[in-house]
Amino acid sequence: MEITSAQLKELRDYTGISVMQCKKALEEAGGDMDKAKIILQKKGGEIALKKSDRALGAGAIGSYVHSTNEVASLVQLSCETDFVSKNPEFVALAKNIAMHVAAQAPLYIRRDEVTPEILEKAKEVFMTEVVGKPAEMQEKILAGKLDAYFKDRILMEQPYIKDGEKTIGDLVSNAIQKFGENVVISSITRISIK
């Protein structure tokens, strides 16, 4: 199958990943755009895992103040080198994540930040909702309710407000793939009048 330049451009515009990686994904997917996107997301996760132990020595601070001046946020997006941290696309990513934080008010960056105590308190609350359900289903229902509850509060799992097809985690994985470095959201701060 012949991969057209229009297909390459569309996939590159969607992912921001290099032309060569887009071409390989399209070839592997037999020209199917949706499959190619999935392939790139899968590879992005694998690349992110390989780079996750690299030292972070640079980064950018993204900030956002809403037009009402009632909510603001700061995000520290870390990477390995100044070369990447000064890249306009990297800086824009930090700012976009800051805007997302202001809008969505996540409580945690990653799921591993949820302490066992908080998890136990959430279980206690949701246990009342599964009482009366068949015993064999209670654990499954409880797990689903907990997952949905925390997914709304964990930044990396939240759907990105500018593109609900992607999570913030997908944006970070794409950045790792695009820049070839470890990229991590190191800290978030949100301030609100209300």
pLDDT band at 46 (very low <50, low <70, confident <90, very high): low
> Does residue 137 register a pLDDT over 90?
no
* 163-182 per-position pLDDT tens digit: 999 999 999 988 988 888 88
> Does residue 49 register a pLDDT over 60?
no
pLDDT band at 16 (very low <50, low <70, confident <90, very high): low
pLDDT band at 109 (very low <50, low <70, confident <90, very high): very high
Rounded-to-integer distance, Cα 183 and Cα 176, Å: 6
> Does residue 121 register a pLDDT over 60?
yes
Question: Which pair of structure tokens corresponds to residue 4?
Answer: 């057209």
Provide DSSP, the chain: -PPPHHHHHHHHHHH---HHHHHHHHHHTTT-HHHHHHHHHHHHHHHHHHHTTS---EEEEEEEE-TTSSEEEEEEEEES-HHHHT-HHHHHHHHHHHHHHHHH--SBSSGGGS-HHHHHHHHHHHHHHHTTS-HHHHHHHHHHHHHHHHHTTBGGGSEETTEEEEEHHHHHHHHHHHHSS--EEEEEEEEE--
> Does residue 73 register a pLDDT over 60?
yes
Check if the beta carbon of residue 190 is closer than 8 Å to that of residue 105: yes
* 17-41 per-position pLDDT tens digit: 777 788 888 888 888 888 887 887 7
